[in-house]
Amino acid sequence: MKRTPRLFAIAAIGSLTLTACGGSGFEDSGGGEAGDSEAPASAEGPAELTMLIASSGDAETEAVEEAAAEWAEESGNQVEVRVAADMNQELAQGFAGGNPPDIFYLDAAQLAQQASTGNLYAYEATDNDDFYPSLRETFTWDDTQWCAPKDFSTLALQINTAAWEEAGLTDEDIPTTYDELSSVAEQLTEGDQVGLVLSPGIDRAGVFVVGNGGWWLNDEGTEPTGTSEEVLAGLQYLQDNMAEGHVAYAGSVDAGWGGEAFGTGRAAMTIEGNWIRGAMSNDYPDVDYTVVEVPEGPAGPGTLLFSQCWGVAAASDAQAQAVELINHLTDPEQQMEFADAFGVMPSRQSVAGEYEEAYPEDAPFIAGGDYGHGPVNAPGMTPVVEDLNSQLEGITNADLQQVMESFDTNASSALDQ
Amino acid sequence: MSAGDPRRQQGAGWLFVTPAIVILGLFLVLPIGMALWVSLSDWAGRGSPFSGDVAFVGLDNYSALLAEPGLARQDLMLSFRNTFYYVVGVVPLQTVLALSLAVLLNNQFLKGRTFFRTAFYFPSVVSSVAISLLFLFLFAGGGAINNVLGWFGLNGPNWFQDPRGLIHLLGDGLGVWSTSSPPGWLTDPTVLGLSPWEWVAGPSVALSAIMLQVIWTTAGTFMLMFLAALQDLPTEVEEAAFVDGANKWQRFRNVTVPHLRPTILLVVTLGFIGTWQVFDQMYVMTQGGPAKTTLTPAYLSYQTAFDTGRWGQGAAIAFILFALIFALTTLQRWILRDKDEPRTSRFSRRRRRRRTTVQDETQTQAQTSGRLS
């Protein structure tokens, strides 16, 4: 009996220590509330900003670091640029711990989820109307534009010159409609070589859906429209052509993605974004190719557009300075510098002319900025889209109506939450 | 109070274990408690899960995963299906391989034993991420494995891109069914969100490639355990069996394996737990693809939390996986329990043991009181 009090005391001290240790880490999480009000939190005196980027390589890291340092010197603040190994995870850790980076790359597909959780501070960069309308739309959720588009990429059609000439095709034959695309793909299919090779998933199949005038969700992103005629027509086009054997997925020609199949010569054509330029010059410098716009669908020109924006954290205590820095980073002159350094396309329309002049071969990609469709950006849609992607991997044997019905069911329940 | 005072010793004892309790509490009990709370809450990954904005939602996360038809349950069941085939393939094979390697290397007359031991153990030392990357190249469509298969006139699949299930392929090959139009009686009523056709798919080609890799990497570690146990095997017993006229196989079957029973139990248990939790390979190589055939509960939990932002569901998956592993390990221990001992003898032995303990205690007490007085 005499033992008990002492035992208790020790246990109590032990648990006290635990609470103390456990508590301290989470105390300051309330800092996020500052972002809920409209006025930006502005740090007194020189601010220390952290920026988290998902860099494509040294060229991008150095260019961003340089631009940030330039602004820091001019404005008397400090900026630390960190490169994320796993962007989603590192952002999530920052938000959960209450000390996210002040500025970060934010993918359009992640926007709604972060915005609906309250992690984002909505702002507009200077001369917001200069950004492509389709990009502004991409970063709009719940009637608010949350961030300034950093740059963008679109999909276009790449044609292997040697294969094209071998099949006896000329510039006259460059496809401008889906029917012509099928017919040249058929002519280019020979032996090991497949006419058109695509990476699987909605990020490529979506091209044909957009070309048919459809989209997976309605314009407001509130209701799924997977079983609409337009969507089914787009997928049907893909399925028919794959069944005939002149369109294939990269996996079935021993490649990881369309660019690889294109480089190894297993594909005579592929549909990829402007990133394919880097891959081709690094890995397959001897392959000659031309880039043209994706052929027009029955409903007019249609392609997909991918973009990232400069996100600002709601929990940041230097939002005013962060927006100033973003103004510097999205400045037309700076955007052109980024384009020169690591080959991205400027998100401002006012730079489009200059960019096209400097890189005339990228004109088909730039053109996509006018009519491209951004990714699905409703909250909670990630697993639904992934499920659709996995079903589209087996598109050749799939019952499209059934696939899209299950997409609609899953999407409705995700959107209702 | 003298230094030998049992009450003072008690205090000192607690003092000595305090660091351990604090460390365990801080890094084990507290995080598990937090995760349990998250799995019962609607925390969205912003700020502390204990702040006022976070609401208690009861078993909502669990019921979305287990009871309600929907994508969450379908994905979880897919991940269970994949991992089930994975476990059934990996655990027996890695145990048998490890045991065979250990028996071979335990041979006194084998030349270069140390070299082989190091060579077989080496894959276990190398980080699984590095090995995963290596296997990505080996099993690529035009990679080394397919080139070797090509020498025999075989056309290897594009391993990590191939979602076809092995049982589906086998049935297709035997003419039981056709994979392009599965039989109607297998596709219609869904069980827990998946049709029987999907349940019986077997591991996909992609998952099989991962299974080969894991068997190869882990066999070394388990081989070491078997080697240690084999070196405990008294040579006299082996010699006695030899004198009795037992041949090599009989000696292995009736002397070595029974002796290794506890080690086999250990290896199988560790194998079970390790395989159900498989994560690294999926994270590095496949991200759950192709067509979700390499989705595992551990990877799904990660994905649900970090990519989708459903932290409650992610944590709930972790606890469901824990419960499943716990139940299966208990079952497996029960199946592999020592069946040779008759119940009565165990009972009487326990009684005998208790009697001796009581005796011992009385003796000790008598001694202590004698010293104190």
Q: Where are the domains of chain B?
A: 63-126+206-335
Cβ–Cβ of B45/A95 closer than 8 Å?
yes
CB contact under 8 A, B291 and A113: no
Tally the C-alpha atoms within 13 A of residue B137's C-alpha that lie toward its C-beta.
5
Q: Cα B123–B129–B133 angle (5° rounding)?
A: 90
Query: Residue A17 corresponds to which tokens in the numbers above?
Result: 């220590």
DSSP code of B181? B
Q: CA–CA separation, A15 vs A8, rounded Å?
A: 10
What whole-number distance in Å separates Cα of residue B189 and Cα of residue B198? 11
> A interface mutation test: which of B61, B285, B307, B313 has the most A CBs within 10 A?
B307
> Any idea what the Cα angle at residue B86 is, between residues B84 and B87, rounded to 5°?
65
CA separation for the pair A44, A132 (Å, rounded):
34
What average pLDDT is seen over chain B?
85
The span from the CA of B241 to the CA of B259, in Å, is 13
* Interchain pair B292, A113: CB under 8 A: no
Residue B340 pLDDT > 70, yes or no? no
d(CA B225, CA A303): 58
Helix (H) or strand (E) holding A372: strand A372-373
Q: What is the DSSP secondary structure assignment for residue A295, as one 8-state letter? A: P
Task: Convert the pLDDT of each residue in B121-155 to its tens digit.
Answer: 888 888 888 888 888 888 887 788 988 998 998 88
Q: In angstroms, rounded to a whole number, what is the distance separating the alpha carbons of residues B42 and B55?
A: 6
**Chain A: residue whose CA lies nearest to B206:** A251
The three-class DSSP label of residue B103 is: helix
Q: Determine which helix (DSSP H) or strand (DSSP E) holds A358, and give its type and residue range.
A: helix A349-358
Q: A–B: how many Cβ contacts below 8 A?
A: 119
Give the residue from A195, A202, A237 showing the smallest Cα distance to A217. A202
- Phi/psi at B220 (5° precision): -60, -45
Q: Indicate the residue of A30, A117, A384 with minimum beta-carbon distance to B71.
A: A384
Q: Please judge whether A256 and B161 are an interchain contact, meaning their C-beta atoms are less than 8 angstroms apart.
A: yes
Contact across the interface for B308 and A397, Cβ inside 8 Å: no
Q: If you write DSSP's letter for every residue of B110-136 in order, what string do you get?
A: -TTHHHHHHHHHHHHHS-HHHHHHHHH
Nearest to A355 by CA among A56, A137, A347: A347
Interatomic CA distance for residues B54 and B315, integer angstroms = 15
- pLDDT computed for residue A10 by the predictor: 40
| Closest chain A residue to B291, measured at CA | A390
Q: Minimal Cα distance from A16: which residue of B?
A: B22
Instruction: Match 């990020």 to its residue by tokens.
Output: A203
**Contact check, Cβ <8 Å, A413/B70:** yes
For B22, the closest of A2, A17, A397 (CB atoms) is: A17
Report chain A residues whose CB lies below 8 A from the CB of B309. Answer: 92, 113-114, 117, 379
Intrachain domains A42-152+306-372 and A154-305+377-416 with the same fold: yes
* Beta-strand pair A247-249/A194-198: parallel
**Closest C-alpha to A294, from A155, A152, A179:** A155
Percent of chain B clearing pLDDT 90 (strictly above):
38
Q: Token pair for residue B356? A: 């001796």
User: Which residues of chain B make contact with A30, given a CB cutoff of 8 A?
Assistant: 47, 51
Burial environment of residue B1 by CB neighbours within 10 A (0 to 12, 13 to 18, 19 or more): exposed
Q: Pick out chain A residues at pLDDT < 50.
A: 1-37
Cis peptide bond N-terminal to B290, omega within 30: yes
Give me the long-range contacts of A281-289 (CB less than 8 A, separation at least 24): A287/A160, A287/A162, A287/A262, A287/A263, A288/A160, A288/A161, A288/A162, A289/A158, A289/A159, A289/A160, A289/A161, A289/A262
Residues of chain B contacting residue A254, judged by C-beta atoms under 8 Å apart:
140-142, 158
pLDDT for the residue numbered A196: 95
* CATH number assigned to the domain covering A42-152+306-372: 3.40.190.10
Q: Which residues of B touch A114 (CB under 8 A)?
A: 309
State the helix-helix crossing angle for B205-232 and B166-174, rounded to 10 degrees.
Answer: 110
Alpha-carbon separation of residue B2 from A3, A151, B366, B372 (angstroms)? 17, 78, 20, 11
Is the pLDDT confidence value at B307 over 70?
yes
Residue whose C-alpha is closest to residue A88's, from A63, A71, A110, A62: A110
Strands A48-53 and A78-83: parallel
Backbone angles phi, psi at B250, to 5 degrees: -65, -40
Q: Residues B246-291: pLDDT tens digits?
A: 888 888 888 888 889 889 999 999 999 999 999 988 998 888 878 8
- Asked if B26 contacts B298 with a C-beta cutoff of 8 angstroms, the reply is no
* CB neighbour list of residue B180: distance below 8 Å, 6 or more residues apart: A397
Nearest-Cα distance to chain B for A241, in Å, is 17
Strand partners, A50: A80
Lowest mean pLDDT among A99-108, A308-317, B173-182, B205-214: B173-182
* pLDDT value of residue B336: 79
pLDDT attached to residue A346: 92
The CA-atom distances, in angstroms, between B254 and each of A63, A410, B24, B95, B265 are 70, 56, 43, 18, 17
Give A10's contacts in chain B (Cβ within 8 Å): 11, 14, 18
Helix, strand, coil share (%) of chain B residues, nearest 5: 70, 0, 25
Q: What is the pLDDT of residue B343?
A: 53
Q: Is the dihedral of CA B316, B317, B321, B322 positive or negative?
A: negative
Q: Which two tokens stand for residue B55?
A: 């609401």
- What is the signed CA dihedral for A118, A310, A387, A273, rounded to 10 degrees? 170
Contact A277, A343 (CB under 8 A): yes
**Residue in the block written with tokens 């030349």:** B111
User: If DSSP codes are grouped into helix, strand and coil, which group holds residue B179?
Assistant: coil
Model confidence at B313, pLDDT cuts 50, 70, 90, reads very high
What integer pLDDT is reported at residue B38 of this predicted model? 93
Quickly count: other Cβ atoms within 10 Å of residue B130's Cβ: 10
Closest Cα partner for B210 from B263, B270, B284, B273?
B284
Nearest to B47 among A3, A29, A256 (CB): A29
Distance of CA B352 to the CA centre of its chain: 37
Could you tell me which residues come within 8 angstroms of residue A160 by beta carbon, excluding any fewer than 6 positions away? A262, A265, A267, A268, A269, A287, A288, A289
Contact between residue A120 and residue A114 where contact means Cβ atoms under 8 Å apart: yes
CATH (one of 3.50.50.60, 3.40.50.2300, 3.30.465.10, 3.40.190.10) for A154-305+377-416:
3.40.190.10
Q: How far is CA B333 from CA B215, B218, B264, B269, B277, in A?
A: 22, 21, 11, 8, 18
Question: What is the CATH architecture assignment of B63-126+206-335?
Answer: Orthogonal Bundle (1.10)
Q: Is the whole-model pTM more than 0.90?
A: no
- pLDDT tens, position by position, B13-24: 889 999 999 999
The angle, 0 to 180 degrees and rounded to 10, between the axes of the packed helices A229-244 and A400-416 is: 140
Minimal C-alpha gap between B217 and chain A (Å) = 25
Q: What is the pLDDT of residue A43?
A: 67
Domain boundaries, chain A: 42-152+306-372, 154-305+377-416
Q: Containing H/E element for A205?
A: helix A202-211
Do A410 and B304 count as a contact with CB atoms less than 8 A apart? no
In a mutational test of the A interface, the residue from B23, B46, B82 whose CB has the highest number of chain A CBs within 10 Å is B46
Structure tokens at A223: 């209701």
Between CA B286 and CA B289 the distance in angstroms is 5
Cβ contact A118–B46 (<8 Å): yes
Using a CB-CB distance cutoff of 8 angstroms, which residues of chain B are in contact with residue A98?
A: 47-48
Query: Concatenated DSSP letters for A121-162?
Result: -----TTGGGB-HHHHHHTEETTEE-SEEEEEEEEEEEEEHH
- Residue A30 pLDDT: 37
